[in-house]
């Protein structure tokens, strides 16, 4: 069965981190697809310890070897700093050892990036093929990157990249992506009774509700809250979420022809309605606001 036709428009070859890369610009005709469970909703809490925690209770681990590759990257980086590098003021040329160390480090960098991208693609492909509705947070990634301690973790987990992939893959698979307003307190809200805690330290890995006594993994709680937003969105037509990716209009179009790299698929944001109480900051963003 031919599922879709592809026409290659152009190809670009480049060398990066000791590897050759070929990028193709293609025109793709896709048949209309449906997720395996069109009516199912999944909340995705993108994590630091795990790649993601789903409202279904599934923990998606970080790609294996990622930690090892990162540690190797640090070692190589230190090794390089001990060698004689170039000096623009004196015009000193870098040593052969420095050049070799730099090449090794570049390869290690590329390996880490590849592992991460691979893990994210597997996750987003699985999610969009399975579930009709995916709900994620709109994290203030720029604000988080300003915090140095978390910056590496955030960059590694690829919050923005997950969102980007989900946006175009939901279009491809006939599902939809809902993005929670960035002020929605998904971590601080009790997924059982709806009570909102005023404080939740980043170090608290368990969510404990003072109202109903619920004790649950922090990320799982957040994922459940995100999933619950979908029902709110469907009854109110808005709420603290914005539809992105395949909204009704897009789906009605049927086949979607893409004449560019998948990442550049425009994603429309429709009607974000901030919930009451903008001061109830998200626990993560709050930790970095200083
Ligand atoms: Zn509760």
Task: Enumerate long-range contacts of 77-81, CB under 8 Å, 24 or more apart.
Answer: 77/105, 79/104, 80/104, 80/105
Measured in Å, residue 211 CA sits from the centre of ligand 1 at 5
Could you list the residue range(s) of the whole structural domain that residue 160 is in? 5-86+95-287
| Of the listed ranges 8-22, 220-234, 242-256, the one predicted with least confidence | 242-256
Q: How far is CA 97 from CA 83, 93, 201, in A?
A: 7, 12, 46
Give catalytic residues, as residue numbers: 45, 137, 219
Measured in Å, residue 221 CA sits from the centre of ligand 1 at 10
| Of the listed ranges 24-38, 131-145, 209-223, the one predicted with least confidence | 131-145
- Tell me the pairing of strands 176-180 and 241-244: antiparallel
**DSSP assigned state of 149:** H
Q: How far is CA 184 from CA 47, 141, 147, 176, 214, in A?
A: 17, 15, 21, 19, 20
Measured in Å, residue 139 CA sits from the centre of ligand 1 at 24
* pLDDT > 60? residue 79: yes
Does 109 or 272 have the greater pLDDT score?
109
Sorting pLDDT into bands at 50, 70 and 90, what band is 269? very low
235: three-class secondary structure by DSSP: helix
Does 283 or 49 have the greater pLDDT score?
49
Measured in Å, residue 194 CA sits from the centre of ligand 1 at 6
Average pLDDT for 166-178: 94
- Please give the pLDDT value at position 265: 30
Measured in Å, residue 150 CA sits from the centre of ligand 1 at 29
Tell me: the pLDDT tens digits for 45-54? 887 678 889 9
- Please give the pLDDT value at position 274: 34
Measured in Å, residue 233 CA sits from the centre of ligand 1 at 22
CB 162 within 8 Å of CB 139:
no
The total of structural domains in the chain comes to: 1
* pLDDT > 60? residue 228: yes
- Please give the pLDDT value at position 260: 31
Q: Average pLDDT over the chain, rounded to whole? A: 78
Measured in Å, residue 205 CA sits from the centre of ligand 1 at 16
Does 226 or 2 have the greater pLDDT score?
226
CB 259 within 8 Å of CB 7:
no
């Amino acid at each position: 069965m031919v599922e879709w036709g592809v026409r290659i428009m152009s190809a670009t070859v480049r060398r990066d981190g000791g590897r050759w890369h070929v990028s193709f610009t293609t025109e793709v005709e896709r048949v209309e697809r449906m997720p395996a469970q069109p009516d199912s909703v999944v909340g995705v809490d993108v994590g630091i310890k795990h790649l993601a925690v789903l409202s279904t209770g599934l923990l998606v681990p970080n790609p294996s070897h990622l930690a090892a590759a990162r540690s190797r990257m640090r070692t190589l980086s230190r090794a390089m700093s001990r060698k004689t590098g170039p000096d623009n003021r004196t015009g000193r040329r870098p040593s052969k050892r420095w050049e070799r160390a730099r090449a090794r480090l570049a390869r290690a960098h590329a390996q880490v990036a590849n592992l991460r991208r691979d893990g994210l693609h597997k996750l987003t492909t699985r999610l969009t093929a399975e579930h009709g509705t995916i709900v994620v947070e709109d994290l203030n990634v720029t604000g988080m990157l300003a915090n140095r301690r978390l910056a590496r973790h955030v960059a590694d987990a690829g919050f923005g990249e997950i969102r980007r992939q989900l946006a175009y893959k939901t279009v491809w698979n006939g599902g939809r992506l809902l993005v929670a307003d960035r002020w929605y307190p998904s971590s601080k809200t009790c997924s059982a009774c709806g009570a909102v805690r005023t404080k939740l330290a980043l170090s608290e890995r368990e969510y404990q509700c003072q109202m109903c006594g619920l004790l649950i993994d922090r990320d799982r709680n957040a994922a459940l809250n995100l999933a619950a937003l979908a029902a709110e969105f469907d009854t109110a037509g808005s709420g603290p979420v914005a539809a992105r990716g395949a909204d009704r209009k897009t789906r009605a179009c049927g086949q979607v022809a893409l004449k560019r790299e998948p990442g550049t698929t425009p994603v429309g944001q429709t009607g974000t309605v901030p919930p009451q109480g903008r001061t109830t900051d998200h626990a993560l963003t709050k930790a970095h606001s200083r």
